[in-house]
Amino acid sequence: MNDQATRALAALATVLLYAAMCVAIGLRERRRRAVHARAAAGLARAPEGRGSPATLVLYATQTGQAQALAWRTAEVLHASGDAVRVLSLDDVDIATLAQARRACVIASTYGEGDAPDGASAFAARFLGARAPNLSTLRYAVLALGDRQYANFCAFGRAVDAWLAGAGAAREFERIEVDNGEPAALARWQAQWSGDALAPADAADAADVAGTANAAEPTQWRLTQRTHLNPGSAGAPIFHLAFEPARTADGAEARAPRWQAGDIARLTLAGDPGRPRDYSIASIPADGQLQLLVRQERHPDGTLGAGSGLLTSAPAPGAMLALALRPHPGFRLGDNAQRPLILIGNGTGLAGLRSHLRARALAGQHDNWLVFGERNHAHDFLCRDEIEAWQAQRVLARLDMVFSRDQAQRRYVQHCLLDASDTVREWLARGAAVYVCGSLHGMAGGVDAALQQIAGAPALRALAAAGRYRRDVY
């Protein structure tokens, strides 16, 4: 067999392997939705056959944590005799609220006090508008946030204030959770059940919700660490590659499954309450878990705990515990067959890269990458790979934006505005927009540019339909 035939067979085998993986994921997703539907139908029936209006469990989520907690709460309420209906805040209306006797709201805050993308339509319709009359409703709010940000739990607080302004009565005072604080979550669960949720029940509920927020860390072996931007005026960025650890008998352990868009979580020894999340830059077909990590250095010269550990401490061959977390809000999901506009900066390339690697393997080439960094000479991350995608037409369009290569700073949002007509054309063809990278500056600038291009109502509709997704930090 000649080399050309061998390469053709190898390519065919790769495509067939990917097709088989897609079928397996599709079957798993169909099973998950069926389980989800059965669970929802079961929760909607009160165990004692009572005909009272259902208790609503409403969630606003970005990464899936609030959704998983909503299902756990619903299970507890149902076990105590309630009929329960679980909904995203974006799917609720005034009539539904008015007909319910009670609402439990689990609301994440995104970035500097914003509604998560999964509640942007609710925020636009109701917050700031005249409150309706909900005087027959009792409610409780669990607000999820992170004290690293100035406006801690701001969205949960806004929902709480809106419900109170509508005349609804609190079951108890709002509970606020700092970055998954176990004690605060236990207080919430104890309000409904008298004790904390049993671990087995929590795992079942998380599976129903399609999330695995409590995934156990597994051991990974660092095989490669490469400095991607030597000479850069910015902080060093490293590409890290990990392989599954070997078992006691020397066999390679089975790697946990993940999808493009998912997250690797690093929990530091002695600091269990503040894990670090990193967008995964690879797909399972690569045979490696890959990350792009920017090294953080504090004003006193010390390295950031998470980035310092990943970028400087372990030598190749060292073992590291990482938990892989599904990120439903940044997976392709129903957008798998759509054109994609992928926008990001810095290490945000990681989340975009995983999608592009999956698309390249699937032979889907309707992709537009808009990516920004500082200087072309030093900060063109993954240049060989990106240029290869362009040459192979995996990328239908590529716009690299280097902010400091000209006198006037230029960023990805400026590129989008310059290409407004093309953005509108892609959206008209059904494109989905994925944004990954800096919350400050980039994400806000891109959002403002997209509102200017498409209109704020249209952008909210895209978010509600799952066609505008963000993984920003």
Confidence at 4, pLDDT banded by 50, 70, 90: low
Is residue 334 within 8 Å of 364, Cβ to Cβ? no
pLDDT tens-digit map of 300-313: 989 998 999 999 98
**Total Cβ atoms within 10 A of residue 65:** 21
Mind listing the pLDDT tens digit for each residue in 341-383?
Answer: 999 999 999 999 999 999 999 999 999 999 999 999 999 999 9
Q: Give residue limits of the domains in the chain.
A: 1-35, 44-208, 218-325, 333-472
Alpha-carbon distance of 402 to 419, in angstroms, equals 16
DSSP state of 149: S
80 vs 46 pLDDT, higher one: 80
CA pair distance 49, 91, nearest whole angstrom: 26
**Residue 79: Cβ within 10 Å count:** 15
- 446/428 Cα distance (integer angstroms): 18
Which H/E stretch holds residue 28? helix 3-43
Name the superfamily (CATH) of residues 44-208. Answer: Flavodoxin domain (3.40.50.360)
Residue 22: pLDDT above 80?
Answer: no
Q: How many C-beta neighbours within 10 Å does residue 384 have?
A: 8
- Asked whether residue 251 carries a pLDDT value surpassing 90, the answer given is no
Residue where the block lists tokens 């239908």: 396
- Higher pLDDT pick, 30 / 398: 398
Q: How far apart are CA 86 and CA 74, in angstroms?
A: 7
SS3 category, 246: strand
What are the helix and strand counts (H, E) for the chain? Answer: 15, 17
Predicted confidence (pLDDT) per residue in 54-83, tens digit:
899 999 988 888 988 998 898 888 887 888
Q: In angstroms, how far is the first alpha carbon of the chain from the final one?
A: 51
Give the pLDDT mean for 116-140.
89
> Quick check: 460 pLDDT over 70?
yes
Quick one: pLDDT at residue 38?
Answer: 47
Q: Above 90 in pLDDT, residue 329?
A: no
> By mean pLDDT, which of 18-22, 240-244, 272-276 is the weakest?
18-22
Whether 97 shows a pLDDT value over 60: the answer reads: yes
Average of per-residue pLDDT values in the chain: 85
Alpha helices, DSSP H, located in 229-304: none
Least confident of 13-27, 221-235, 318-332, 451-465: 13-27
**Encoded tokens for 406:** 């000209």
Comparing 209 with 411, the larger pLDDT belongs to: 411
Report whether 371 contacts 399 (CB < 8 A): yes
pLDDT digits (tens, 9 = 90+) for 401-459: 999 999 999 999 999 999 999 999 999 999 999 999 998 889 999 999 999 999 999 99
Residue (of 428, 422, 431) closest to 449 by Cα position: 422
C-alpha 433, offset from chain centre = 14
CA atoms of 358 and 336, how far apart (whole Å): 10
Q: Is the pLDDT of residue 37 over 80?
A: no
CATH of region 333-472, choose from 3.40.50.10540, 1.20.910.10, 3.40.50.80, 3.30.1490.20: 3.40.50.80
When pLDDT is averaged across residues 212-237 and rounded to a whole number, the result is 87
| E-assigned strand segments in 233-381 | 237-244, 263-268, 271-279, 289-294, 319-325, 340-345, 367-373
Min mean pLDDT across 20-29, 53-62, 150-159, 183-192 is at 20-29
Task: Answer yes or no: is pLDDT of 87 > 80.
Answer: yes
Rg (CA), the chain: 23
What is the per-residue pLDDT for 253? Answer: 65
> pTM of the full predicted structure?
0.76
The phi-psi region of residue 435 (left if phi > 0; otherwise alpha if psi is between -120 and 50; otherwise beta) is beta
432 φ, ψ (degrees, to nearest 5): -105, 150
- What is the pLDDT, as a whole number, of residue 458? 93
Q: What is the pLDDT of residue 337?
A: 94
- The CATH architecture that domain 218-325 belongs to is Beta Barrel (2.40)
Q: Give residue 233's pLDDT band: very low, low, confident or very high (50, 70, 90).
A: very high
- In the structure encoding, which two tokens stand for residue 64, read together? 């899936």
Beta bridge partners, 402, equal 373
Could you check whether 44-208 and 333-472 share the same CATH topology?
yes
Poorest-pLDDT segment among 18-27, 281-290, 427-436: 18-27
